[in-house]
Amino acid sequence: MKHVTPSVRLLARPSINWKTVYDHIVAELGGSDAAYCLIKSGELSSGEALTEFMARLCYRSFEPGLNANVTRVRTDHADYFENILRSRHGSVLAHAHYSFVFHNVSRVFTHEVVRRAAGTDISQESLRFVRLDDIRVWLPDWVRQDEELADRCEVIVQMLEAHQRWMTTHFTLDDPGVAFTEKKAKTSFMRRFAPEGLATTIGMTFNVRALRHVLEMRYAEHAEEEMHVVMPQLFAIMRDECSLLFNDYTVDGENLRTEYRKV
């Protein structure tokens, strides 16, 4: 048994074709270079820039004059995004996608986080294909401080590890010539004897709208305790990566609070 700590890391962020942005604003709508530069601002991350472009596209509000109904536009980005959140104009947040690797999270964690699957894409390590030779587990501090409880937990996991190794030998899975289909079938059976607390890896891509919803649901006082380890890490990543879309949140103990819930 190996003790591990759940973690999350950013894998990918949006990439923008700036020629398309320029062509749309200047060549197609007849806007100015200044209107283009408002979007291609060094103040904005790629996710923020993509979101602002899509939002302004809805009203041709890149600058006054492109829409006869628009006589003035917000040019301060913080004020612009504040208005999006205040107006609950959440659909434009769904254009920006971020991908993450969640490592050493339990299947308890993954079962819960994938329940909020709208707006997400999921690729999880498959125990139908990945054979176990050791079992990694995260134990909360309060468990590790209870020596008898921690020792009993370790004994049980070691028994399950031993059973995995025994089945590998029993099924002769490492013998030359064993077909992959046979390995897959037996590995699928063997996973039934792995604990739900087994540490695993899951890759998830969220649009920002979905990601805000997941954080609001899982960064909460009454969320499953492993969430209290992972969700603060996820929030910290996005607050640094895309602050204008996440700086309405404040951390209150174990809760993440905003007046713009479910944008």
On whether both 87 and 133 belong to a single domain, the answer is no
Q: What is the rounded average pLDDT of the residues 11-20?
A: 98
Give the domain-ending residue among 47, 72, 94.
Answer: 94
Instruction: Please check the confidence at residue 167 and state whether its pLDDT lies above 90.
Output: yes
On whether both 89 and 23 belong to a single domain, the answer is yes
Strand pairing report for 136-137 and 7-12: unpaired
Give how far Cα 260 sits from Cα of 82, 83, 256, Å.
10, 11, 12
Is position 20 within any domain? yes
| CA-derived radius of gyration, the chain | 24
pLDDT score at 150: 97
pLDDT score at 254: 87
Give the domain-ending residue among 138, 164, 193.
Answer: 193
pLDDT score at 199: 97
Instruction: Please check the confidence at residue 54 and state whether its pLDDT lies above 80.
Output: yes
Is position 115 within any domain? no
Contact assessment for residue 64 and residue 73, using Cβ atoms and an 8 Å cutoff: yes
pLDDT score at 98: 98
Strand partners, 122: 204
Selection from 245, 244, 249, 248 nearest residue 231 by Cα: 249
Is position 33 within any domain? yes
On whether both 83 and 150 belong to a single domain, the answer is no
pLDDT score at 261: 87
Is position 57 within any domain? yes
On whether both 79 and 35 belong to a single domain, the answer is yes
- Is residue 263 very low, low, confident or very high in pLDDT (cuts 50, 70, 90)? confident
pLDDT digits (tens, 9 = 90+) for 104-158: 999 999 999 998 778 899 999 999 999 998 999 999 999 999 999 999 999 999 9
Q: Hey, what are 6's tokens?
A: 């759940």
What range defines the domain where residue 187 resides? Answer: 128-193
Is position 241 within any domain? no
On whether both 83 and 135 belong to a single domain, the answer is no
Instruction: Please check the confidence at residue 92 and state whether its pLDDT lies above 90.
Output: yes
Picking from 52-61, 145-154, 196-205, 217-226, which range would have the lowest pLDDT averaged per residue?
217-226
Contact assessment for residue 99 and residue 203, using Cβ atoms and an 8 Å cutoff: yes
Tell me the C-alpha distance between 42 and 90, whole Å.
24
pLDDT score at 140: 96
Give how far Cα 68 sits from Cα of 27, 38, 59, 60, 117, Å.
18, 20, 10, 9, 40
Domain count within the chain: 2
Is position 54 within any domain? yes
pLDDT score at 118: 80
On whether both 154 and 86 belong to a single domain, the answer is no
Q: What is the mean pLDDT of the chain?
A: 95
pLDDT score at 115: 84
Does the global pTM surpass 0.85? Answer: yes
Q: What is the rounded average pLDDT of the residues 17-40?
A: 97
Give the domain-ending residue among 94, 114, 138.
Answer: 94
Tell me the C-alpha distance between 75 and 204, whole Å.
33
Is position 25 within any domain? yes
Amino acid (one-letter) located at 165? R
Is position 118 within any domain? no
